[in-house]
Amino acid sequence: MSVHTADSQFSFQLPSLSYIDAKWEEPNLRASAPRIVRKGGLAAWLSRQVAAFITWRRNSEAMSELASMSDRELMDIGMNRGDLVRAFDPACNADLRQRGA
């Protein structure tokens, strides 16, 4: 004997998942604002300071996103809590750049 089942009985809710936006994994997907290159003077210094601040904010956002992930979620992307600092420290990643070049 078969019973007719309505489509509404199959509804479910997805769990709240945390993820890292693709722009952090793929550099070519990052939205880049047009950059104005200044040769020197106050405008060049100010431009460098603004660029450094924007970079710091982006890294801070990504770091807080990673820190909010559970150990299981970090393990799914091949990281652990000890790797969080390494992900954003250029000095720690110098060996990876040398291998890629």
Mean pLDDT by 10 residues, the chain (101 residues): 62 58 61 62 90 92 91 91 83 75 58
Structure confidence at residue 99 (pLDDT): 77
Residue 19 CA to residue 10 CA, distance in Å, equals 26
CA-CA distance, 59 to 89, in Å (whole number)?
10
Q: What is the pLDDT of residue 40?
A: 78
Query: Which of 91, 85, 43 has its CA nearest to residue 67?
Result: 85
Question: Which pLDDT does position 76 carry in this prediction?
Answer: 93
pTM greater than 0.85 (yes/no): no
Distances (CA, A) of 31 to 22, 23, 58, 59: 11, 8, 12, 14
Structure tokens at 13: 């809710």
Question: 98: which DSSP letter?
Answer: H
